[in-house]
Chains A and B, each alone.
Chain A
Amino acid sequence: MAESTDATVEEKEVSSEAVSVDTDGFGASAASEEVVLDVKELQTHFTTRWGTVKAVDGVSYHVKRGETLGIVGESGSGKSVTALSLMRLVPSPPGNIVGGEVVLNGRNLLDLSEKDMTEVRGGEISMILQDPMQALNPVFSIENQVGEAIKIHQNLKGEALWDKVVDSLRKVRIPAPESRAKDYPHQLSGGMRQRVVGAIGISSAPAVIIADEPTTSLDVTIQAAYLRLLRQIQQEEGVGIIFITHDFGIVAKMCDRVAVMYAGRIVEVADVRTIFNEPLHEYTKALIGSVPKLEEKTGRLPQIEGQPPLLYNLPAGDAFAPRSTLTFTAEDAARRPPLLEVKPDHWVQLSKSSVADYDKYAHLMPAEDEE
């Protein structure tokens, strides 16, 4: 055990018996240029007795093969509904996808029949849910639960099915997969159950995995192991990951690109380093600035005043304006701000009320009469 304790060792082997020191999986991106998922002007609305809630209000983004896109936002920002809309799992009523396109591998998922969609779900696109501790059924064996998705999507039986189950468990680094497959969820530790959920997610070699805050309920060390595992699987399989989170630490560690959501809309999209180094939108700046840092003792944290808005009662124009500390007139905030590419691959929802550098980019604003 003692030989692998040198912190400088560049290691590849993943052994639960030895201390594994590594940075692999992080830093190096597996992203390519091929777009696998393209979401265009997606709109998901909920009809409630207080009015129409525009949970997702014209959201566009894309995911490339092998890339991790972080969708960051607070509760009520629409980030989880965006993900459910991609899977067409928004409960209806009250929810409805009222507009837009979700193009996965060249097909618009919103046009598919429910039967075809069942094949896509868990096949081409799969989801790792918020609370993996509860995502497993306690009365079925691991083999049964991992095998279920494989049976549906790959039509395998008997020996071939078993081989595939064991193979999926091996991919998520579960030790002794043959015997673990016979176990029931309660026989596994939290970290191992987590991996089983991951195994179900990757079992059908999806093009895109949606991870909806999969590590919020976990301890830091287990979280770190799980994030690393996701990243390793991504490099091996070239899968695109949409990582939904409110934690900028996870974004810093996992994501290649980031979309920041506020009140059902994307306010800024850019490469992760651009988001951290040169954020343009006041909300992005404030969110990053208000998080305490582990690396240094910081002085008083800058805080964002006010609350996130209620979605059934959104201001007509710039939704962030009521919390913005910039100086602007009511007229500046009244217009619904367009999402514009202000620098190559750096998009921001441009308005005088929420972007301090507005004047620099004002010439990009489309003429007002379009709306």
Chain B
Amino acid sequence: MTTAENVTIPGAPGVNPNADAIISIRNLRKWYQVGGGFMGFGDKIFLKAVDDVSFDIERNKTFGLVGESGCGKTTTLKLLLGLEQPTGGQIFYEGEDVSTMTKAGKAEFRRSVQAVFQDPWSSLNPRMRVRSIVGEPLEIATTMTKGQIATRVGDLLSETGLNPYQANLYPHEFSGGQRQRIGIARALALNPKVIALDEPVSALDVSIRAQIMNLLVDLQEEHGLAYLLVAHNLATVRYMCHDMAVMYLGVVQESGETEAIFNNPMHIYTNALVSAALPSHPDIQREEFLLPGEVVSPINPPPGDVFMTRTPLEVDPNHKWANERPPLVEKEPGHWVVDTPWSMAADAGLKVELTGHEGV
């Protein structure tokens, strides 16, 4: 392990300086050029999928990214996995900047960060037997013999609640929940430290979701895993995550400890999401509010606060934050929010109280 003890990771708004971070993401950017800039002339047009995002994933904890489609949560996950190259910013693994790692260091990083994808119907190769699917990472990244791999695959299948004899079957012979277990077994094969979970239960049947969520929680405890969970279901996030960030148009609008955010959602956007989320009992009828307009295109977003086109409050076009990106501000310990005159739910009278049905 090449942990560089003396490298200091820059602090960032929205990040707890005392966090025991295994992954630190700092000022991460992914801009796609979608037009303009002919032969170096003219203004380039960028789609800013992820713009200046910073957070820490702590050891043995789950960090949740939530937001609507197009908010950049999945792009952030892909950047962490190396499936996309960042336009700017840094990813630190165990205190070391991934972009300046040696080849061996990068390989170690790749082994330590694995993924489980949303759709277990399309994320497993239908032509491969389960033993090849789960054993493939071991073949590629280790020097284990065939016999050792077979034993390890059997262990992984038992650990994820499957039967070792099922190793010879093909993916189509399994139900959705079992397939997701195969995906999890494969992700665990190389003893990773971090697993990126991209909507791991949203494609599954309701009665299977709890099985998979509980399996993930158990594996986290047993192996001390850190998870990055991308989800749009807020109830799943509240159940699984210790810390979370709410993204809108590529920018984190509110972040901090999950309970702090659910107990006191501050940003208008967070409140809009919470108010629109489905209740867990028919006696809970939340006052739901819809933001004016629709999600704007992330192509050339406003230079200032990206949320200002959606706020119901008056925006002063000459205000500093209408022309310059506002930072996250720590409003209460461990709870950060973009604080502009038009972004706070309390100022708009749009605070949502989450109460159980006994309290209604």
Please state if B239 and A301 are interface contacts (CB–CB under 8 Å).
yes
Q: Which of B46-54, B56-64, B185-193, B279-287 contacts A (4 or more CB under 8 A)?
A: B279-287
Q: Which of A88-96, A122-130, A155-163, A243-251 contacts B (4 or more CB under 8 A)?
A: A243-251
Please state if B280 and A220 are interface contacts (CB–CB under 8 Å).
no
Please state if B205 and A20 are interface contacts (CB–CB under 8 Å).
no
Interface residues of A in 11-36 (CB under 8 A from B): 16-23, 26-27
- Chain A neighbourhood of B281, CB < 8 A: 252, 276
Does B291 touch A at the CB level, under 8 Å? yes
Please state if B356 and A1 are interface contacts (CB–CB under 8 Å).
no
Interface residues of A in 156-196 (CB under 8 A from B): 189, 191
Q: Which residue of B lies closest to A274 (CB)?
A: B282
Please state if A294 and B234 are interface contacts (CB–CB under 8 Å).
yes
Please state if B292 and A16 are interface contacts (CB–CB under 8 Å).
yes
- Bits for B260-283, please: 1 = Cβ < 8 Å to A, else 0: 001000000000111111111111
Smallest CB–CB gap between B308 and chain A, Å?
Answer: 12
Please state if B285 and A294 are interface contacts (CB–CB under 8 Å).
no
Smallest CB–CB gap between A42 and chain B, Å?
Answer: 23
Please state if A2 and B312 are interface contacts (CB–CB under 8 Å).
yes
Please state if A220 and B277 are interface contacts (CB–CB under 8 Å).
yes
Partner-A contacts on B (CB < 8 A): 68-69, 175-178, 205-211, 213-214, 217, 232, 234-236, 238-239, 258-259, 262, 272-294, 312-314, 348-351, 354-357
Q: 15 additional contacts, CB 8 Å, given A18-B312, A220-B273, A291-B210? A: A19-B290, A19-B348, A21-B289, A22-B287, A220-B278, A221-B68, A222-B68, A247-B278, A249-B279, A276-B283, A286-B207, A293-B280, A294-B354, A296-B356, A300-B217
Does A304 touch B at the CB level, under 8 Å? yes
Q: Which residue of B lies closest to A292 (CB)?
A: B239
Please state if A7 and B292 are interface contacts (CB–CB under 8 Å).
no
The 9 A-B residue pairs with the shortest CB-CB distance, nearest first, are: A249-B278, A224-B276, A292-B239, A290-B210, A19-B312, A303-B210, A219-B68, A74-B205, A294-B235
- Chain B neighbourhood of A189, CB < 8 A: 294
Please state if B290 and A225 are interface contacts (CB–CB under 8 Å).
yes
Does A228 touch B at the CB level, under 8 Å? yes
In the bound complex, what is the Cα–Cα distance between A23 and B146 (angstroms)? Answer: 62
Does A295 touch B at the CB level, under 8 Å? yes
Please state if A221 and B291 are interface contacts (CB–CB under 8 Å).
yes
- Chain B neighbourhood of A26, CB < 8 A: 285
Does A287 touch B at the CB level, under 8 Å? yes
In the bound complex, what is the Cα–Cα distance between A1 and B236 (angstroms)? Answer: 34
- Chain A neighbourhood of B258, CB < 8 A: 297
Does A138 touch B at the CB level, under 8 Å? no
Please state if A291 and B280 are interface contacts (CB–CB under 8 Å).
yes
Partner-B contacts on A (CB < 8 A): 1-2, 4-8, 16-23, 26-27, 74-75, 189, 191, 219-225, 228, 246-253, 255, 272-273, 276, 286-287, 290-298, 300-305, 307-308
In the bound complex, what is the Cα–Cα distance between A23 and B287 (angstroms)? Answer: 5
- Chain A neighbourhood of B286, CB < 8 A: 23
Count of A-B residue pairs with CB < 8 Å: 181
Please state if A253 and B280 are interface contacts (CB–CB under 8 Å).
no
Please list 23 pairs of residues, one from A and one from B, whose beta carbons are closer than 8 Å in the complex, sorted by A's number.
A1-B312, A5-B313, A19-B292, A20-B289, A27-B285, A75-B205, A221-B272, A222-B68, A225-B290, A247-B206, A248-B206, A249-B279, A276-B282, A291-B206, A291-B280, A292-B238, A293-B239, A293-B280, A293-B356, A297-B238, A300-B214, A303-B214, A307-B177
- Chain B neighbourhood of A75, CB < 8 A: 176, 205
Smallest CB–CB gap between A173 and chain B, Å?
Answer: 11
Please state if A308 and B287 are interface contacts (CB–CB under 8 Å).
no
Smallest CB–CB gap between A30 and chain B, Å?
Answer: 15
- Chain B neighbourhood of A303, CB < 8 A: 207, 210-211, 214
Contact among A6, A225, A228, A250 for B278, CB-based, below 8 A: A250
Please state if B349 and A7 are interface contacts (CB–CB under 8 Å).
yes
Please state if B280 and A5 are interface contacts (CB–CB under 8 Å).
no
In the bound complex, what is the Cα–Cα distance between A75 and B290 (angstroms)? Answer: 31
In the bound complex, what is the Cα–Cα distance between A291 and B129 (angstroms)? Answer: 32
Please state if A290 and B209 are interface contacts (CB–CB under 8 Å).
yes
- Chain A neighbourhood of B68, CB < 8 A: 219-222
Please state if B287 and A249 are interface contacts (CB–CB under 8 Å).
no
Smallest CB–CB gap between B265 and chain A, Å?
Answer: 11
- Chain A neighbourhood of B351, CB < 8 A: 7
Please state if A228 and B206 are interface contacts (CB–CB under 8 Å).
no
Please state if B287 and A21 are interface contacts (CB–CB under 8 Å).
yes
Smallest CB–CB gap between A147 and chain B, Å?
Answer: 26
Please state if A6 and B349 are interface contacts (CB–CB under 8 Å).
yes
Please state if A294 and B280 are interface contacts (CB–CB under 8 Å).
yes
- Chain B neighbourhood of A246, CB < 8 A: 205-206
In the bound complex, what is the Cα–Cα distance between A189 and B296 (angstroms)? Answer: 11
Smallest CB–CB gap between B352 and chain A, Å?
Answer: 9
Contact among A21, A22, A248, A273 for B350, CB-based, below 8 A: A21
- Chain A neighbourhood of B275, CB < 8 A: 224
- Chain A neighbourhood of B176, CB < 8 A: 75
In the bound complex, what is the Cα–Cα distance between A16 and B294 (angstroms)? Answer: 9
- Contact flag A2-B206 (CB < 8 Å), given A22-B287, A249-B278, A252-B284: no
Please state if A293 and B207 are interface contacts (CB–CB under 8 Å).
no
Please state if A5 and B350 are interface contacts (CB–CB under 8 Å).
yes
- Contact flag A290-B234 (CB < 8 Å), given A228-B288, A272-B282, A301-B239: no
- Contact flag A295-B289 (CB < 8 Å), given A252-B281, A304-B210: no
Q: Which residue of B lies closest to A74 (CB)?
A: B205
In the bound complex, what is the Cα–Cα distance between A228 and B275 (angstroms)? Answer: 13
Please state if A23 and B235 are interface contacts (CB–CB under 8 Å).
no
- Contact flag A2-B314 (CB < 8 Å), given A225-B290, A301-B214: yes
Smallest CB–CB gap between A311 and chain B, Å?
Answer: 13
- Chain A neighbourhood of B178, CB < 8 A: 307
- Chain B neighbourhood of A305, CB < 8 A: 211
Smallest CB–CB gap between A359 and chain B, Å?
Answer: 26
Residue picked from B176, B211, B289, most chain A C-beta under 10 Å: B289
